[in-house]
Amino acid sequence: MAATASPGAGGMDGKPRTSPKSVKFLFGGLAGMGATVFVQPLDLVKNRMQLSGEGAKTREYKTSFHALTSILKAEGLRGIYTGLSAGLLRQATYTTTRLGIYTVLFERLTGADGTPPGFLLKALIGMTAGATGAFVGTPAEVALIRMTADGRLPADQRRGYKNVFNALIRIAQEEGVPTLWRGCIPTMARAVVVNAAQLASYSQSKQFLLDSGYFSDNILCHFCASMISGLVTTAASMPVDIVKTRIQNMRMIDGKPEYKNGLDVLVKVVRYEGFFSLWKGFTPYYARLGPHTVLTFIFLEQMNKAYKRLFLSG
Q: Is 83 in contact with 148 (CB distance < 8 Å)?
A: yes
Higher pLDDT, 2 or 138: 138
What distance in Å separates the CA atoms of residue 257 and residue 21, rounded to the nearest whole number? 43
d(CA 70, CA 59): 13
From 10-19, 191-200, 257-266, the region with the lowest mean pLDDT: 10-19
Q: What is the mean pLDDT of residues 20-27?
A: 85
Do 128 and 36 contact (CB within 8 A), yes or no?
no
Which pLDDT score is estimated for 74?
92
Asked if the model's pLDDT at residue 127 lies above 80, the reply is: yes
- Could you tell me how far CA 19 lies from the centroid of its own chain? 25
Give me the pLDDT at residue 298, please: 79
With bands split at pLDDT 50, 70 and 90, how would you rate the model's confidence at 241?
very high
Band the pLDDT of 1: cuts 50, 70, 90. Answer: very low
Mean pLDDT of 222-234: 84
What is the C-alpha separation between 132 and 143, in angstroms, rounded?
Answer: 18
How far apart CA 148 and CA 48 sit, in angstroms, is: 7
Tell me the whole-structure pTM to 2 decimals.
0.84
The DSSP secondary-structure symbol of 256 reads: E
Measured CA to CA, the distance from residue 250 to residue 242 in angstroms comes to 12
Per-residue model confidence (pLDDT) at position 312 = 84
- pLDDT score of 200: 78
Q: Which of 237, 222, 46, 26 is nearest to 130 (CA)?
A: 237
Task: Categorize the per-residue pLDDT at 130 as very low, low, confident or very high, splitting at 50, 70 and 90.
Answer: very high
Measure Cα distances from 274 to 10, 60, 185, 250, 279 in Å: 61, 15, 24, 20, 10
On whether the CB atoms of residues 242 and 258 are closer than 8 A, the answer is: no
Tell me what pLDDT residue 4 has. 44
Is the pLDDT at 179 greater than 80, yes or no? yes
- The pLDDT value given to residue 16: 56
| pLDDT tens digit sequence for 64-117 | 899 999 999 999 999 999 999 999 999 999 988 988 888 888 888 988 888 888
pLDDT tens profile 286-306: 988 878 877 887 788 789 889
**What pLDDT is recorded for position 3?**
44
CA pair distance 50, 149, nearest whole angstrom: 10
Query: What one-character DSSP code corresponds to residue 113?
Result: T
Q: Tell me what pLDDT residue 7 has.
A: 43
Q: pLDDT band for position 190 (50/70/90)?
A: very high
Amino acid at 18: T
State the pLDDT at residue 293. Answer: 75
pLDDT of residue 8: 45
pLDDT at 17 over 70: no
Helices 219-249, 262-273: axis angle to 10 degrees equals 100
CA distance 99 to 96: 5
Give the up-direction half-sphere exposure of residue 81: CA atoms within 13 A in the CB hemisphere: 9
In percent, how much of the chain has pLDDT > 70?
93
Report the pLDDT value the prediction gives residue 120, as an integer from 0 to 100.
86
Give CA separation, 36 vs 84, 87, 94, in Å: 8, 7, 13
Per-residue pLDDT at 245: 94
Least confident range of 31-40, 106-115, 156-165, 170-179: 106-115
